[in-house]
């Protein structure tokens, strides 16, 4: 999915909502555990309930890889069930030496045809550039995250700037706003404004809204641009809004609320 197609989806739905499918078998409604594939039954119901308000689904691959072959099959079925006009993200946080990154890119762009994959840039250019060779695909690079441990490295000085600032400037030069996005945590509103000024045209994938303390209004005011330029991820706040037979209805209501908050910025 290219930038123009993605932008069209956002403006058509007046939404920047990304729903994270971090599907944990210990948290889904118990009545689904009798299904042949409980995780897929849950994902299918969530997707069907929220797709009208959602512009992207982010599959956190760890929750599927942990289940072995069955988990990979669940991920494949989930990906196939997502409507083609909705952006898909493999939240895999890959990144390794060149030939290994090339295989990771093939995994998530060909074998499992996601639109994008999250990447850890610590190993440098040769770990990121192989992902950029795939036309119509996106690399979503970790920039400034919202976890407590981000202070260990990201907020340390690197010459006359902070390390995350150096990472953002450097990685942005390897590609374009048409194939690189950045993960920018929603709980850091001051940095959101600063990063938007630094990267006026790039898309940001923004986690941290909802259970982690971020809010839609703050994120949109700080980082919305003329092309929207945001995908705001909400996982637990949507998919685990209910834990009984009405879980899909409750997910629908939460997704609708988020979309209504976002719509005023279009």
Instruction: Give the residue ranges of the chain where pLDDT is below 50.
Output: none
- What are the tokens at 85? 């006009």
Q: What is the pLDDT of residue 53?
A: 98
C-alpha to C-alpha distance for 16 and 11, rounded to whole angstroms: 9
pTM of the entire predicted model: 0.96
Is 93 noted as a catalytic residue in this protein?
yes
Q: What is the pLDDT of residue 54?
A: 98
Q: What is the pLDDT of residue 146?
A: 82
C-alpha to C-alpha distance for 209 and 215, rounded to whole angstroms: 5
- On whether the CB atoms of residues 25 and 101 are closer than 8 A, the answer is no
**Residue among 77, 93, 129, 166 flagged as catalytic:** 93
By CB atoms closer than 10 A (0-12, 13-18, 19+), residue 44 is middle
Report the DSSP pairing between strands 203-206 and 87-94: unpaired
Q: What is the pLDDT of residue 48?
A: 98
Residues 6+ apart with CB under 8 A from 141: 118, 119, 121, 128, 167, 171, 180, 181, 182, 183
C-alpha to C-alpha distance for 229 and 87, rounded to whole angstroms: 14
- On whether the CB atoms of residues 1 and 217 are closer than 8 A, the answer is no
Alpha-carbon distances of 206 from 12, 28, 68, 132, 186, rounded to whole Å:
20, 24, 29, 21, 6
Options 2.40.50.140, 3.40.50.12280, 3.20.20.70, 3.20.20.150; CATH for 3-188+197-244 is 3.20.20.70
Q: What is the pLDDT of residue 212?
A: 60
- On whether the CB atoms of residues 187 and 212 are closer than 8 A, the answer is yes
- CA contacts within 13 A on the Cβ side of 257: 13
By CB atoms closer than 10 A (0-12, 13-18, 19+), residue 156 is exposed
Q: What is the pLDDT of residue 147?
A: 86
C-alpha to C-alpha distance for 174 and 132, rounded to whole angstroms: 9
Q: What is the pLDDT of residue 150?
A: 87
Sorted by where each begins, the domain ranges of the chain are 3-188+197-244
- 15 SS3 class: coil
């Amino acid at each position: 999915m290219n930038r123009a197609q993605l932008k069209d989806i956002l403006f058509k739905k007046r939404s920047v909502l990304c729903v994270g499918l971090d599907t944990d078998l210990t948290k889904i409604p118990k009545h689904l555990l009798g299904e042949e594939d409980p995780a897929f039954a849950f994902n299918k119901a969530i997707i069907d309930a929220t797709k009208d308000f959602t512009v992207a689904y982010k599959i956190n691959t760890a929750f599927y890889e942990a289940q072995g072959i069955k988990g990979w099959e669940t991920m494949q079925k989930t990906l196939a069930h997502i409507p083609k006009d909705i952006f898909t993200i493999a939240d895999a946080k890959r990144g390794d030496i060149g030939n290994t990154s090339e295989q990771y890119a093939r995994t998530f762009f060909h074998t499992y045809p996601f639109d994008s994959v999250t990447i850890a840039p610590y190993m440098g250019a040769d770990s990121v550039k192989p992902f950029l060779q795939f036309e119509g695909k996106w690399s979503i690079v970790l920039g400034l995250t919202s976890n407590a441990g981000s202070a260990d490295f990201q907020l340390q000085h690197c010459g006359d700037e902070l390390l995350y600032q150096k990472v953002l400037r450097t990685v942005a030069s390897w590609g374009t706003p048409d194939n690189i996005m950045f993960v920018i945590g929603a709980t850091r509103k001051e940095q959101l404004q600063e990063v938007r000024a630094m990267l006026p045209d790039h898309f940001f994938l923004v986690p941290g809204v909802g259970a982690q303390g971020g809010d839609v209004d703050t994120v949109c005011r700080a980082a919305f641009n003329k092309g929207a330029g945001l995908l705001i991820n909400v996982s637990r706040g949507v998919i685990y809004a209910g834990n009984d037979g009405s879980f899909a209805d409750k997910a629908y209501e939460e997704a609708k609320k988020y979309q209504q908050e976002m719509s005023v910025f279009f």
